[in-house]
Structure 1
Amino acid sequence: MSEDLIGYAKLTQDALRSVVRDAIKVALTGLPGDHHFYISFRTRARGVQVAQYLAAKYPDEMTIVVQHQYEGLEVLDDWFAITLHFGGVPQRIVIPFAAITRFYDPSVRFALPFDVVDDLSPDADLDDDVLESEVEDTVVKAPSTGAVVSLDAFRRKK
């Protein structure tokens, strides 16, 4: 078999990530019907920005739910940013699309798994200084009370 010099695997992953990007763009004006998203991402991937206590709690991978309570959604070509509430405390999260490992919309049973990416491509257009200051402005200390809801009940059994 010949060597793939075009890089079809990467092209396919990039195309599927554009599906995720376009779906998230729909959420800019509110999600229609029962649509909502479970988005899993690598917390240590280059360009990911989360509060330190969340990164410590989820050192490898984290899943967020985009449904009713989100604010400040921004969607660009290479990343999106969103403010979600954790224990009632708003936190700004920045997620490059290359850091996403799974996307799932349970309302229509639509799922996309992604290959694990160790690093973002060097040409990714992330302005880390601007994003970091934006995240720092919204980061607060972990609440002393509150519970984290396990998403295990929503995951498919293998």
Structure 2
Amino acid sequence: MSRSIDYGNLMHQAMRGLIQQVLQDVADNGLPGAHHFFITFDTTHPAAELADWLRDRYPQEMTVVMQHWYDNLSVEEDGFHVTLNFGDQPEHLYVPFDAIKTFVDPSVEFGLRFESTEDGDDEPQPPEDEGGSSETGESHDAEVVSLDSFRK
């Protein structure tokens, strides 16, 4: 019986842990300086919590921004809770870490993309020139995402 090291899954766990640590620091100390986050997540994830009108508007994925106004940020082992403002309407969200597709902090040109694969082979995908995310597959691998897609 052959055994191998599952680098794709290990990288996946490490990058999710990095996001968890960053968000916990922000929950404890606030956003430092010009740091802010664009977080894209799968709204179809069974543990994701969002208002029905948001789920209707974003049936596959949604990108949220944590910058000027956010409230009640709390970080758990498997995800985070936050209240964000949508057109002067505060809404509570729960985002499981394994629902995150991209995590970008444009202030320091840092980004991760958890690429979906259809065959579930957990092999890391090479970085692409353009940011984005796939909406197919069950497994996710971490990779660096280009920030050009988030620039105005």
TM-score (normalizing by structure 2): 0.74
* Aligned residue runs from structure 1 range 24-35, under 5 A: 24-28=23-27, 29-35=29-35
- Tell me the amino acid that sits aligned with residue 118 of structure 1: E
Q: For 2:50 and 2:138, locate their aligned partners in 1 and report how far apart those are by CA, in whole Å.
A: 18
Shift, 1:46, TM fit: 1.9
More strand by share: 2
Aligned residues: 122
Secondary structure of 2:32's match?
coil
Q: For 2:54 and 2:70, locate their aligned partners in 1 and report how far apart those are by CA, in whole Å.
A: 17
- 1:103 aligns with 103
Q: For 1:91 and 1:156, locate their aligned partners in 2 and report how far apart those are by CA, in whole Å.
A: 23
Secondary structure of 1:68's match?
coil
Unaligned runs of 5+ in 2: 117-136, 140-147
Identity within the alignment, %: 39
| Contact preservation (8 Å) 1:13, 1:115 | no
Shift, 1:24, TM fit: 1.0
- 1:52 aligns with 52
CA-atom RMSD in angstroms = 2.1
| Contact preservation (8 Å) 1:45, 1:118 | no
Segments ≥4 residues shifted beyond 6 Å: none
Secondary structure of 1:114's match?
strand
- 1:23 aligns with 22
Unaligned runs of 5+ in 1: 120-153
- 1:97-145 deviation line (CA, Å, top 9, x unaligned): 00000000000000001133638xxxxxxxxxxxxxxxxxxxxxxxxxx
- 2:138 aligns with 118
